[in-house]
A and B are shown apart, each in its own frame.
Chain A
Amino acid sequence: MITYLVNGIGIILIVGIIWWFWLSKSTNDKNV
């Protein structure tokens, strides 16, 4: 049970980081 929980949180974190720092950045931000 705890293994699933930890792995689930880990994967959410990775996806979250990618989304927040790359995907959700506006085009204007990326050009800097």
Chain B
Amino acid sequence: MNSMRLSIGGMSCAGCVSSVEKAIKNTPGVLDYNVNFAELTATVTGDLSVQDVIASVVNAGYEASELRSVEDEISKEAAEYTHYRELLKQSAVAAALGLPLLVLGWSGNMPGLVGYERVFWLLVGLATLFILFYSGKRFFIGAWKAFKRHNANMDTLIALGTGSAWFFSTLLVLFPAIAPESAQHVYFEAAVIIIALINLGAALEMRAKGKTSEAIKRLVGLQAKQASVIRNGLEISVPIEHVGLNETIRVRPGERLPVDGVIIDGESVIDESMLTGEPLGVEKSINDTVIGGTINKSGSFLFRATKIGNDTALAQIIELVRKAQNSKPQIGRLADKISSVFVPSVMIISVITYLIWFNFSDVNDANLALITAITVLIIACPCALGLATPISIMVGIGKAAEFGVLIRNAEALQVSGKIDTIVLDKTGTITEGKPRVQDVFGYALSENEVVGFAASLEHYSEHPLAIAILEYANDQGVPLETVESFESLSGLGIKGKIDNQNVLLGNSKLMSNEGISFNKYDEQINEFYSQAKTVLFLAVDGKFAGLMTISDTIKNDSRKAIGEIQKLGIDVIMLTGDNESTAQSVAEQVGINQVIANVLPHNKSETIRNLQATNHIIAMVGDGINDAPALALADVGFAIGNGTDVAIESADVVLIGGSLLGVVDAINISQRTVKNIKQNLFGAFIYNVIGIPIAAGVLYPFFGILLNPMVAGGAMAMSSVTVVSNANRLRLLSRNEK
């Protein structure tokens, strides 16, 4: 199975996307494919070679080349820039002929079609032909290619509009007698000015489109190019493609990490903001995982490469964002359907317009038929319609990725904005999912002694809480002591001898079994229980000496995020396998009113199904493993990632940073993007629905208003630029904007 990315040339209009898609789809061996009009690329997966795909695309009348390395991407960008410059040049050349003609017309000194003045027009006609060839060649070639495949696109309209303006004008210059004197007007300047304006519009659109794919360019730019690998005891610098699995890599302060791995020596603070959106640096030491593309801010360290090439988190993020940006939501399908029949329909409208004016207008308005027919062709813009959806999706999904929110497809983006109920898993989602020591009290001992005794005993234990106590002792710098005759008392606790003293650590049952009393602290202890904390009692030589409480900490921003979600008018429900009182206590701390407790992991999806039966649009937020069935069943599944794990298949949205605030970001971006798409679609529809009748001259009999074909050319060029610029407004979204 091969996965490849291609740069596609010659796609001038959204209509071309379906032609290229069809060509790829019909290539034997293709399993999955995507064509991105905004980025002018295609991604193809299947049992076939790159050459097969390229051959199919070329056969369909387009150009294709493989994008393999960063260098290929750079050369694609350089080619795009050359094309941009070319468009500007073509526009300027066309304007150089069109503007003087326009000024001549305005000045009222336009030569007529008699005597030697016809020679002037013959020369202008030849010059216009040259401009149509030099600046407008691509429209005619594109139109012809499409025509041969029974398709019509934007190129068809422009080629027909400008071509017929030139043809009728030339005919008139050669045979002035075919028209009455009042209709002896030529339209060479219209043809060249339209070409100039549309090329200028295409250049502006290309520039604006470049900005829409900025997010992905930024991600690609995060990839380091070189890595300092330790081989045979020597440190050598190699290109990252040559880094092998399990090789040791040195990273110095200020350097970018080349691949993913685990620290084996040293410690540092790493800036992961580019991937997770989390602004603060993260402290890392031995055995911590590090991600390629992040920046080492302080110390120098060595790490072992665990993921290289396309397996690194960054490579997977890029892949996921690209795929998502190419996907189309339901809302855009209608526009696709309309734009596929749009151009032939406009051609028919243009012919009908001609016939109506030809048959019913005054003989003094003999030019009306030609002018209106051409203007109809020129003003119609299928491009704005075709661009409206994909361009906003591209910007919206890119923007989300910048915030550490990976949205898998356009459908998920669309549905996220409609969520009315969010179900949050407790452990690992609202809380850290990792028990931590919360309080230490020494009654017969100092607090440090309590920690020292507890940690020394737990050093020998395999209980999950042991890690929390050992970590705490380590953080506090409390040394461990030697333990003799260690014994684990199942279901109760542990005991051993430290410095010839008998030390007991365990639950209240262990204390009462040993006849150790702690009655006078009952009130305080009950308070801990009500906060859902686990209490560990320490006794030394048969006397109660102190206690520690341990609980799963609530993430710093959980309360804030839940508050933000509720402010959006969304119901928040907490789902947990814990008992009612623990669940209630956590829910109270973060401001959740609805709790569903005592739910076994395999029953979580059942709960989601029951909620959906009440006609709610449900989002589930949880980890990607235990909650996978519930995430897959929910209308939108949000998986809390842990930095490196981005390929969580069961989720529609992955929050790389692990913060619940990502949910708020996703909902905000979704609502904004859907709104943006609707604005674009509405604008593009209205533009055509109003523009075409005006161009056809419906206002002329009543108000004498007639659209100039050059104005129509300008309006057409601006309509696509407006759609792209409107989508670009999404780039200005800031985090947690309301």
Contact = CB atoms under 8 A, between A and B. Distances in A.
Given A21-B150, A25-B150, A7 B347 contact: no
A32 interface: yes
Nearest to A25: B150
Interface in B343-374: 343-344, 347-348, 351-352, 354-355, 358-359
B22 interface: yes
B150 A29 contact: yes
A23 to B, nearest CB: 10
A10 B150 contact: no
A2 B294 CA distance: 75
Contacts, number: 42
Interface string B150-164: 111000000000000
B584 to A, nearest CB: 56
B21 A32 contact: yes
Interface string A1-32: 00100110011011001101110110001001
Contacts of A10: 351-352, 354-355, 358
B18 interface: yes
A7 B21 CA distance: 39
Given A24-B150, A32-B18, A32-B21, A14 B352 contact: yes
A32 B348 contact: no
Interface in B140-154: 147, 149-152
Contacts of B351: 10, 13-14, 17
Interface residues of B, number: 21
Contacts of A24: 150
Interface in B499-558: none
Contacts of B341: 22
A1 to B, nearest CB: 13
A21 B344 contact: yes
Contacts of A32: 18-19, 21-22, 340
Contact of A20 (B22, B150, B352): B150
B669 to A, nearest CB: 31
Interface in B325-353: 340-341, 343-344, 347-348, 351-352
B358 A6 contact: yes
A18 B359 contact: no
Nearest to A21: B344
A21 B150 CA distance: 5
A6 B150 contact: no
A26 B343 CA distance: 18
Contacts of A13: 351
Contacts of A22: 341, 344
B699 to A, nearest CB: 23
13 contacts: A6-B355, A7-B355, A7-B358, A7-B359, A10-B354, A10-B355, A10-B358, A14-B351, A18-B348, A21-B150, A21-B151, A24-B150, A32-B19
Interface of B: 18-19, 21-22, 147, 149-152, 340-341, 343-344, 347-348, 351-352, 354-355, 358-359
Given A3-B358, A32-B21, 10 more contacts: A10-B355, A13-B351, A14-B348, A17-B347, A20-B147, A21-B152, A21-B344, A22-B341, A24-B150, A32-B22
